[in-house]
Amino acid sequence: MCFFGTYDEDLHPRIRVVREGLGLHGHDIRVVNRPLGVSTAQKVQIASFPPLGVLLVVRLLVRWVQLLIASRGVSPAVVVVGYMGHFDIHFARLRFPRSYLVLDHLTGLGETARDRNVDTGVRGRVLDALDGWALRRADLVLCDTDEQATQVIDRSAAVEVVPVGAPLSWLEAGADAPAPTGPLKVVFVGLFTPLQGASVIAQGVVEALRTAELECTFVGTGQDLDAAKTIVGSNPNVTWNEWIPAAELPGFVASFDVSLGIVGTSPKARRVVPNKVYQGLAAGTVVITSDTPPQRRLKKRHSLDQLMLVPPGDPSALASTLQRLADSPEELRSIRRDGADAVGPTAVTGQLSARLS
């Protein structure tokens, strides 16, 4: 089995979860990977200004030459193309015409552009067409929730639902996580986009700070960052960081009591369980996120006291939950932190492993 493409495991760690999980299930793994070096935000910027696409094409062609050289003598039965592999899947089909191709498809280009408020006219239809072309090229498409699978099932040969999960490094950080002490420590890590509901989270934190003793750290950038900062204002109990190195992030999050998921109200926000929910569970934090069908299903399936749900788009509900935890250290200490058992690489890839065996 070969993991192939220009994906970046640091930017999109879900593909690392799949690789680690299949390896732990006994599959012989070969990695041929040359990261493209372009973030999702940059790809959306290119979609907004097509002339920048020339630079993307040049860089992509250079990476493909590198992949071609690195894959000499490799003839795997299964090739897994990492997210976002909308173009890599076509190169993989040419390079490995007899292999079974698996495309990790967390979300589409068109949907991502709409989430970032990029023009959804002709440009959006072109991106949707690129999504469909990639989906049809694969023999198997991986989606992370049942709801996401329904979006692609009519454009794919076959679909397998594989939860996003958390890499081993997050489980290791969670095993070493300190016991809660002092004021409630809360962290938000992610992109400041409508999907996240960053402005709602900022409002909820501000409301909680009026009566509760807590400290909150925001990590990330994005289109709603300025709005979130305006809502919070100048508050000594709130810290802002644009970036934490990927290698340091598991230990960083594990040092907090609570990590925040998403509370957005968009259709996509109601269909997904984001990376950071799984990562927060693995790191041993209490996770507060929106009460949507897939996140509710995750909580119920594994009886996760550690996962707390609030209505999407409701800052007061978020504030109330934070206030309760801040005012009740005993409750915080008593919450079972066993989410790691449900979200690790082995747990989330069992069904996929059986399918590919």
Angle (CA) 252 166 170, round 5°? 30
Residue 184 pLDDT grade (very low, low, confident, very high; cuts 50, 70, 90) = very high
- Assess if residue 348 is contained within a domain: no
pLDDT at residue number 49: 63
Residue 39 and residue 115 in one domain: yes
Residue 107 and residue 178 in one domain: no
51 DSSP 8-state letter: G
Report the C-alpha gap between 224 and 151 in whole angstroms: 27
pLDDT at residue number 336: 84
Check which CATH number belongs to the domain holding 262 and give it: 3.40.50.2000
- Assess if residue 22 is contained within a domain: yes
Residue 154 pLDDT grade (very low, low, confident, very high; cuts 50, 70, 90) = confident
Tens-digit pLDDT profile for residues 3-19: 999 999 998 999 999 99
Residue 183 and residue 323 in one domain: yes
What's the 3-state SS for 263-321?
CCCCCHHHCCCCHHHHHHHHCCCEEEEECCHHHHHHHHHHCCCCEEEECCCCHHHHHHH
Q: Is 259 helix (H, G, I), strand (E, B) or coil?
A: strand
Establish how many alpha carbons lie within 13 A of residue 155's alpha carbon, considering only the half-sphere containing its beta carbon: 20
Report the C-alpha gap between 304 and 312 in whole angstroms: 19
- Assess if residue 355 is contained within a domain: no
- Assess if residue 350 is contained within a domain: no
- Assess if residue 357 is contained within a domain: no
The dihedral built from the CA positions of residue 171, 172, 173 and 176, taken in this order, carries a sign that is positive
Which tokens is 60 given?
Answer: 């992509």
Tens-digit pLDDT profile for residues 207-255: 999 999 999 999 999 999 999 999 999 999 999 999 999 999 999 999 9
pTM: 0.91
Residue 264, Cβ neighbours under 10 Å: how many? 26
Q: Is there a cis peptide before residue 308, judged by omega within 30 degrees of 0?
A: no
Residue 157 and residue 232 in one domain: no
- Asked if residue 207 lies in contact with residue 316, where contact means CB atoms within 8 angstroms, the answer is yes
- Assess if residue 62 is contained within a domain: yes
Last residue of a domain, which of 144, 162, 180? Answer: 162
- Assess if residue 59 is contained within a domain: yes
Residue of 45 and 280 predicted with greater confidence: 280
Residue 289 and residue 202 in one domain: yes
Residue 290 and residue 266 in one domain: yes
Residue 187 and residue 276 in one domain: yes
Residue 144 and residue 272 in one domain: no
Number of domains in the chain: 2
Residue 242 and residue 225 in one domain: yes
pLDDT at residue number 54: 82
Residue 231 and residue 336 in one domain: yes
Residue 173 and residue 109 in one domain: no
Residue 75 and residue 57 in one domain: yes
User: Phi, psi (5° rounding) for residue 131?
Assistant: -60, -50
What is the span of the domain harbouring residue 216?
A: 168-343
The length of the chain in residues reads 357
Report the C-alpha gap between 63 and 197 in whole angstroms: 35
pLDDT at residue number 218: 98
- Assess if residue 101 is contained within a domain: yes
* 98 residue type, one letter: R
Check which CATH number belongs to the domain holding 155 and give it: 3.40.50
Tens-digit pLDDT profile for residues 103-139: 999 888 777 767 666 656 777 787 788 888 999 999 9
